[in-house]
Amino acid sequence: MTRTWQISDVTDAAVARVAAARLATAFGVPPVERARLTASLGAQLRLCLTKGGTWRLALETGTVSRTAAEAAQRVLHAVVTPSPEAAAAGQPPWRVTVPCPGAEDVGAVAAAVAGAVADDPAQLAQALLGADEDTALVLDRLTEQEGLVDFHREELQQTNQGVVALHAELDAAGRAQREAFAAERKARTEAEHARRRLTFLADASAVLTASLDHHEIVRRLPELLVPEYAAGVDIWLFDQDGDRPGPAHAAAAVVAARTGRPQYAAAHPGGLPGVDDQPPSALAPDRPLLCIPLPTRQAPLGVVTLSPPGDRWDPDDAVMLVELTRRASIAIDHAQRYQHNRDIAETLQRALLTELPAPSGLALAARYLPATHGLNIGGDWYDAFRQPDGGVIAVVGDVTGHGLRAAVMMSQLRTALRAYAVDGGSPGQLLTRLHTFLHHLQPDLFATAVIARFHPDDPTVTWAAAGHPPPVLRTPDGGVRTLDAKPGAMLGIPMRQEIADHTVPMAPGSTLALYTDGLVERRARGIDPGIARLADALGSFGPAELDADLEGSADGILRPMLSDSERDDDVCLLLCHLRATG
């Protein structure tokens, strides 16, 4: 269906506009689209009247389809054709299309509506006024949309505020996470540094305490500290009598020696835990100095002065250095005490191990070897001396324990034995008196001993033992036997005992070996295999060898006996050889 209107004045324009509105209503055009159509058409018709001439409005219905699959949709086309004058001036037609979702066959209704409006001016005016209903409806819709927009604007504002707050929270959480990560990295770094310091402290302590030579400890300390923890190390050790000679030392070192507290000498305070600050040293004004005393229970042994590897020390490094110096002081103190005791013990040992006599017809050779670790002295001892009647006493003993106390006790037993032997007496009687002497003198100290007595007028040897390994006798024909008669108990045990004598023949060319258990006893095998080895070694010599070189024979016995393991006990051997010729 197509309807046309000629428009040359305002009445024609009003009629055309009303007709277009009613047709749009009849075809079911929605109010908003209808208002948009009439408003646009009204504006175009006003333009037509302004330009003048006769214009033509055509309204027609049709169908359109976007795709082949979609159903055709009815639409309403409005076309305003310009007047011939406007067309000649290049004015293009005006077109608009609106959908008609509720359109039916309304041709008759549209014709009646258009005629009625054209014949009745009152209805035309009413229709023009009624056009405001669509406008009012559009305005209502607009108001609703504005309210909805305001509502959504408020929601958007709240959402934006929430987003801003969320961003702020996320930013704060991010900062907190970064701070936590930084704190974790710092804690991990500090833990790694602490582990490194503790490892260094443990390793350095093991190195310092491994030596019993204080000179070695003093030499190793700078090697351990330079260059990681110090650029330079100066160790000032005081002498034993309290004087402190030597080159000039920093004033802070003197203060550390006097107060026993670590001192830090620099132009600025060090802030080191447990360390006192001092002015910079006149000896080194351009570099800091850390002066740490070497403490002991009595007085400092000296002062260690350190210069830093960089500008200054880390406080934790300073704490570690103070602790390492303390441990070094303990190691030096122990080493000096050990050296002192060893010197005393060795002096005493040399005084006790006197030269052997050289009686006619009897050759003596002795060997004393300290244990391969610890103090070079123990309770093992040997001695040989003449009695007033011409007899010769040979003794080998072993005081329990090691060190200075054992050496002192050994000395007392040796002196007591010599004193008792002046009055005469057999080996058993002498051991019995030594037992009583030791029990009353040192109730908690014990000893073993074996004594042999030779006399130039007697072709026998008399011997007695108290808890001691048995003597080994080599006869001139090369036979070797152990004198395993039952010995007495150890000297000094809390019991009364009378130690018996034993006598065996000893022809010229015979050799009697007295020894301590350090020569024959091994922890893994006991003592019997060692005695058997000693017998084999003694039997391996010929009579001429023992007569010619008893000292060399003693070395020849020790060499195979001591080559199998480290000695953890002292060794004493006394060979008594009865010469074949007078």
547 and 453 within one domain: yes
Both 281 and 418 in one domain: the answer is: no
Regarding pTM above 0.85, the answer is no
Q: Residue 25 domain-assigned? A: yes
Number of independent structural domains in the chain: 3
Considering the domain architecture, whether residues 410 and 539 belong to the same structural domain is answered as yes
pLDDT recorded at residue 383 = 93
**pLDDT (0 to 100) of residue 174:** 92
What pLDDT does residue 233 have?
A: 93
CA angle, 303 as apex, 298 and 306 as ends, to 5°? 150
CATH of the domain at 253: 3.30.450.40
Q: 223 and 82, same structural domain?
A: no
* pLDDT (mean) for 130-147: 77
Is the pLDDT at 242 greater than 70? The verdict is no
The pLDDT value recorded for residue 551 is: 92
- Residues whose CB is less than 8 angstroms from the CB of residue 370 and which lie 6 or more positions away in sequence, other chains included: 376, 377, 378, 570
Range in 123-127, 328-332, 379-383 the model is least confident about: 123-127
511, 422: one domain: yes
Domain CATH for 364: 3.60.40.10
Q: Which of 32-46, 111-125, 505-519, 540-554 has the lowest mean pLDDT?
A: 111-125
Run of H or E including 231: none
Asked if residue 407 is part of any domain, the answer here is: yes
Q: CA dihedral defined by 176, 177, 178, 179, rounded to 10 degrees?
A: 50
- State the Cα–Cα distance between residues 153 and 482, nearest whole angstrom: 119
- Structural domain range at position 362: 353-578
pLDDT the model gives residue 537 = 92
Higher pLDDT, 134 or 505: 505
At residue 455, φ and ψ (nearest 5 deg) are: -135, 135
| Domain contains 203 | no
Whether residue 28 is found in the same domain as residue 112: yes
Q: Which of 127-141, 165-179, 333-347, 390-404 reaches the highest mean pLDDT? A: 165-179
Cβ atoms 490, 501 nearer than 8 A: no
pLDDT at site 244: 47
Is the same domain home to 423 and 323?
no
The least confident of 90-104, 381-395, 539-553 is 90-104
Nearest CA to 539 among 522, 519, 523, 553? 553
Say yes or no: 343 and 358 in one domain.
Answer: no
The verdict on residue 146 lying in a domain is: no
156, part of any domain: no
Pick the most confident of 259-273, 328-342, 519-533: 259-273
Q: What is the pLDDT of residue 200?
A: 92
From 82, 104, 119, give the residue that closes a domain.
Answer: 119
Residue 38 bridge partners (DSSP): none
- Please say which residue of 347, 380, 415 terminates a domain: 347
For the segment 494-550, what is each residue's pLDDT rounded down to a tens digit? 899 999 999 999 999 999 999 999 899 887 778 889 999 999 999 998 778 888 899
Res. 561 pLDDT band, cuts 50 70 90: confident
pLDDT confidence of 243, banded at 50, 70, 90?
very low
Q: What is the mean pLDDT of residues 75-90?
A: 87
Whole-number Cα distances in Å, 565 to 285, 377, 560: 58, 19, 11
28: in domain = yes
349 membership: H or E segment, kind and range: helix 315-352
Span 281-305, average pLDDT:
89
242 vs 158 pLDDT, higher one? 158
Residue 535: partners with Cβ closer than 8 Å, 6 or more residues away = 472, 480, 481, 482
Q: Which of 93, 119, 145 is the last residue of a domain?
A: 119
Both 273 and 371 in one domain: the answer is: no
Residue 154 lies in a domain: no
108 pLDDT higher than 50: no
Same domain, 249 and 293: yes
Scanning the structure block, which residue is given the tokens 């351990």?
A: 224
Answer yes or no: do 275 and 407 share one domain.
no
Are 328 and 421 part of one and the same domain?
no
Mean pLDDT of the chain: 85
Per-residue confidence (pLDDT) for residue 272, from 0 to 100: 92
Residue 328 one-letter amino acid: A
d(CA 473, CA 486): 16
Asked whether the CA dihedral 101, 104, 105, 111 is positive or negative, the reply is negative
Segment 480-505, tens digit of pLDDT: 999 988 889 999 998 999 999 999 99
List, in order, residues 6 or more apart from 105 with CB less than 8 Å away.
none
Q: Is residue 546 part of a domain?
A: yes
